[in-house]
Structure 1
């Protein structure tokens, strides 16, 4: 299944969604997407999330249902490691 990086921009500081994670994961399950992890910017107004999903449309549908922005969604196929070697995302 393809992997995607999602850039999310927030108008306000985002609070770490500990309480919301279960609900977000339930929506993701229903849309057949899997949230792997996220990075949060220092100002807490932007996040970068790695997802596994069948399509960009599935990611956008899950984001809409969860009330989350999905400003930029980019399919990724590999990681460039510090050694310079390209490895698969998973």
Structure 2
């Protein structure tokens, strides 16, 4: 399945509790989107998230349903350092 890196910018600090995370999982599951990993900026206003999804449009639709920004969506390839040794 294709991998996508999503950059999200928030007006305020991101605060996500267990209930909010569960709601996001439900939306992602219904949209065929699988969250893999996230990085949160030091000021808690930007995230960089790695997802598996069938398309960039599936990512954008899940974000829209969740009320989250998806400012930049880029399809990426997996890069493993050992492949270059």
Do they fold alike, i.e. is TM over 0.5? yes
**Counting helix residues as a fraction of each chain, which structure ranks higher?**
2
Structure 1 residues 48 and 28: CA distance shift in structure 2, 3 A: same
How large is the RMSD of aligned CA atoms in angstroms?
A: 1.7
Partner of 2:59: 59
| Moved segments of 4+, more than 4 Å | none
TM-score (norm 2): 0.91
Partner of 1:48: 48
Where does structure 2 lack aligned partners over 5 or more consecutive residues?
Answer: none
**Counting strand residues as a fraction of each chain, which structure ranks higher?**
1
| Secondary structure of 2:19's aligned partner | coil
TM-score (norm 1): 0.86
Whole-Å separation in 1 of the counterparts to 2:67 and 2:20: 11
Where does structure 1 lack aligned partners over 5 or more consecutive residues?
Answer: none
Structure 1 residues 58 and 39: CA distance shift in structure 2, 3 A: same
Which structure's relative contact order is higher, taking Cα pairs within 8 Å and 6+ residues apart?
A: 2
Measure how far apart 1:45 and its partner are: 0.4
| Secondary structure of 1:44's aligned partner | coil
**Deviation readout 1:4-30 (Å, 9 max, x if unpaired):** 000000000111343211110111111
Measure how far apart 1:54 and its partner are: 0.1
| Secondary structure of 2:70's aligned partner | coil
Count of matched residue pairs: 85
